[in-house]
Structure 1
Amino acid sequence: MSAVSLDEVRRDWTRLGSAEPLWAVCVDPDKRNGGWDDEEFLASGAAEIDGALARLAELGVGHGTGRALDFGCGAGRLSNALARHFEAVDGVDISAPMLAEARRLDRSGGRITFHLNEAPDLSAFPDDSFDLVYTDLVLQHLPPELAAGYLREFTRVARPGGAMVLGVPARERATFKGLVFRYAPWPLIRLAQRVLLRYPAPMRMHTWSPERIAAALADGSAPGRAPRIAASEEYWGGDHWQHLRHFVAVPPREESP
């Protein structure tokens, strides 16, 4: 991942955060130009987190309730929801305007700390920092080599016996719009988003299959100690993508004899 590419991601999401922070987090044609109500926006995050944590419990994927990471936190929609279940939450984003909006919307009473992270890693956090690592609709916006690096970082900062929840598109749908994203060159898609759709900045998109996620999580892990995907389930679909939510168990360390 080159510094220029990372800077391009930062620049685009800084523009999106400055112009349409809530809409850029939850893209809905009816919510353009400030259409999201603050409380409605936060309630949508609470519904997502409540459902995801309930599903982790159903799958028997345990985790503590001490500290959670919201990677690509944007305007704090999910950070606020996580703060209802964890003692502390760290929200990480590359866009300073997004983080300013997140701090405005912070309803946690001091349980959330927001971090500007412009590095291609999570070196601000030591190993085994988080009981839960959560990211949704973020990794697809990053160049794949950068996203893979963050996935490896998730395995480092997740506590043994903890969990991850990773929401990403698994594939393009066999529709006109889906096929455009699969086959059209990125400069053409970027131009269409800016000129035809009038996005404040373009949103790049990449797919991550369960097999690709599992391989990235295993990369660098000790043999037999890679995080295990307990379930990969479709949770949102449209005429562009099939989105999967991956519920991941982080294996506990073996006890020393």
Structure 2
Amino acid sequence: MAVDRLKSTWEKLGKADPLWAVLTDPERRHGGWQVDEFLATAAQPVARVRELLDDAGLSLGDRTLDFGCGAGRLANALAEHVKEVVGVDIAQSMIDEANRINQFPDRVEFVAYDGHRLPFEDESFDSVVSLISIQHSPPAVQLACLVELQRVVRDGGVLVCQIPFRPSRPENLPQTAMRARIELVEVPSPVGVGQAAPVRARVTNAGDRVWPAGRLIRLGNHWLRDGEPVRWNDGRADLPHDLAPGASVELELPVVGPDEPGEYELELDVVQEAVAWWAEAGSETVRTGVTVVSGTVVEVPALSPQQELVVDPRPAPRGRDDGGMEMFGMDSNLVRLLFTHCGSEIVNIVPDDMAGAEWESFTYIVRRGS
């Protein structure tokens, strides 16, 4: 189900605004990227990859896989350094755009895959590069991706993978600021098992100071059954702007029906990520009953484009703003253990800023073992 959601998300993004979905500069939305300008942005990260490999005495070799290639930005830049590049992505719409703007059709190929097993033989690449891609996959999908990347790289080849670790802890608001009044505007019921649906709510700052946007302050939800939580973390909706005491904003929160049919309570609360759910500081939550049924409920309204996914509006460097894309960190010790378990060597773990200023992120340089 996680793979299906991921594929559906990126298919839609690839059809709507593929270049912006890869590089979400807010000023370039709705077709604002020029192709040449978009492709030119890959020169610096690819140069950094080359530098890290040179420092480790490694190379990309002759055949490189660009994993999570999107519209082919990195693949085109990598073609300046290797004989053959294959870009692979879960979304056919992204592959279609990558083929359309391919600058090296004789040496760069783009392939869509099903999100499970890569359509390549074992040890068929000298290297793999994956930047700002794995961070958008749910945890179980991340693990599967890394195992597959290990599989398709030859013995002695290299993997260069950027993955965020965890959100940087934001500056804590005082508890007197952690006060919210939440009013339900629209709640769909019933909701299908695993079905995404929008909840609309009005949130008022009932605290004593401004809630600053970009501080990971979000409306979130829990699912409860018989008073016990069955899913604590689900949807998120971010503040569109700073919110002064007494001011209100209407938000659309994307929630996903629990895995089993039945009667549930949907609870809404405000959270400052990596700090606290505000109920812990004395803020009031709001609850409502929701019926969850087997199958898809056709009449559940569609999510609006602005809130179709969990939003992460962190103020990232160089204009990155991944509004609309889910972000998932992965513990660096887990990455290390996974590759070590597979017989590979972690050559270097380098801090980077690719996931934005609100995330700790690392680029892993891995020499593939047998």
TM-score range, shorter chain: 0.7 to 0.9
User: Which position in structure 2 is the counterpart of 1:188?
Assistant: 236
Name the structure where helix makes up a greater proportion of residues.
1
Q: CA RMSD in A?
A: 2.4
User: Which position in structure 2 is the counterpart of 1:212?
Assistant: 334
User: Which position in structure 1 is the counterpart of 2:226?
Assistant: none
Identify if the C-alpha distance between structure 1 residues 15 and 64 changes in structure 2 by more than 3 Å, giving closer, same or farther.
closer
1:73-92 to 2 correspondence within 5 Å?
Answer: 73-92=69-88
Kept in 1, the 8 Å contact 2:132–2:354? The answer is no
CA distance in 2, matches of 1:203, 1:44: 20
User: Which position in structure 1 is the counterpart of 2:137?
Assistant: 142
* Higher Rg: 2
Kept in 1, the 8 Å contact 2:88–2:113? The answer is yes
* % identical aligned pairs: 32
CA distance in 1, matches of 2:79, 2:170: 38
1:173-252 to 2 correspondence within 5 Å?
Answer: 173-175=168-170, 177=214, 179-180=216-217, 185-189=233-237, 191-192=252-253, 198=306, 202-219=324-341, 221=342, 225-236=343-354, 238-251=356-369
Which of the numbers 110, 117, 122 marks the counterpart of 1:114? 110
CA distance in 2, matches of 1:204, 1:126: 30
Which of the numbers 148, 155, 158 marks the counterpart of 1:160? 155
Identify if the C-alpha distance between structure 1 residues 200 and 108 changes in structure 2 by more than 3 Å, giving closer, same or farther.
farther
Q: Structure 2-normalised TM-score?
A: 0.60
Name the structure where strand makes up a greater proportion of residues.
2
1:107 partner SS: coil
Q: Which runs of 5+ in 2 are unaligned?
A: 172-213, 222-232, 239-251, 255-302, 310-323
CA distance in 1, matches of 2:354, 2:108: 27
Does 1:100 pair with 2:148? no
Kept in 2, the 8 Å contact 1:170–1:242? The answer is yes
Q: Report the more deviating stretch, 242-251 or 17-26.
A: 242-251
1:53 partner SS: helix
Does 1:72 pair with 2:68? yes
Q: Which runs of 5+ in 1 are unaligned?
A: none
Does 1:128 pair with 2:250? no
CA distance in 2, matches of 1:188, 1:43: 33
2:47 partner SS: helix
Identify if the C-alpha distance between structure 1 residues 248 and 235 changes in structure 2 by more than 3 Å, giving closer, same or farther.
farther
CA distance in 2, matches of 1:146, 1:76: 21
